[in-house]
Amino acid sequence: MAAARKRIAVLVSGRGSNLAALLRQDCGGDVVVVASNKADAGGLAIAREAGIATFALDARQFADRAAFDAALVAALNEHAPDLVVLAGFMRILSPQFTMAFAGRLINIHPSLLPSFTGLDTHARALAEGVKLHGCTVHFVTAELDRGPIIAQAAVQVEDDDTPETLAARVLVQEHQLLPHAVRLFCQGRLRIDGARVRVQPPAAA
């Protein structure tokens, strides 16, 4: 019997190009809801266009981070997600949120973690003079931009790169890497083993 398709929730704050990349491929799951902390996020428009449920929560309407995160967990749970994908979601999440989706919460980050956690990763990579840069998809834990790494892709840093040119080349890789990682998750092939993620071979047909 074929395994049930996974239900995927995606959180975005911006243009949503990684969401669009996920929607272009069959990752073995269906994006059932897209949520944002910004009502005008481009990613929400992409989702609506694709006929996917959306909602936005405005942090200013909540007393504190705990209240916002509790509301976000509750609203996401209405869609019964098997997997929650952070695709450019620009908010720090509380341990309550990361615990609620432990083992089924993943993030795409524009650097080769554990180098360059946080913001402005491309400018910082150039400032450090690294020759390889890239992107990482990882399980999310309470620690920002940490958590077991699922997959990474690297690009060469060129002598004439600017943060913008480097970001553009990394983004091309992100659009391959995120669907790849989501597919592995949906196929049930990811085993978290301490800090490591072991990728199981595909099930025999």
Where does this chain bind ligand GRF (CB under 6 A)? 12, 14-18, 43, 87-88, 108-110, 135, 171, 174
Q: Is the CB of 72 or the CB of 198 nearer to ligand GRF?
A: 72
Q: Are 66 and 74 in contact (CB under 8 A)?
A: no
Q: Mark whether 109 is an active-site residue.
A: yes
Q: Compute and round to an integer the Cα radius of gyration of the chain.
A: 17
d(CA 32, CA 130): 39
Q: Is the CB of 3 or the CB of 15 nearer to ligand GRF?
A: 15
In the numeric block, which tokens belong to residue 121? 């990763």
- By beta carbon distance, the residue nearest ligand GRF is 88
- Among 109, 122, 138, 175, the active-site one is 109
In the complex, the smallest distance separating the C-beta of residue 140 from ligand GRF, rounded to whole angstroms, is 12
Burial grade of 173 (CB within 10 A; 0-12, 13-18, 19 or more): middle
Q: Is the CB of 87 or the CB of 190 nearer to ligand GRF?
A: 87
In the complex, the smallest distance separating the C-beta of residue 90 from ligand GRF, rounded to whole angstroms, is 7
Alpha carbon of residue 126 to chain centroid: 23
In the complex, the smallest distance separating the C-beta of residue 187 from ligand GRF, rounded to whole angstroms, is 23
DSSP-derived pairing of the beta strands 29-36 and 53-56: parallel
d(CA 166, CA 169): 5
Active-site residue list: 109
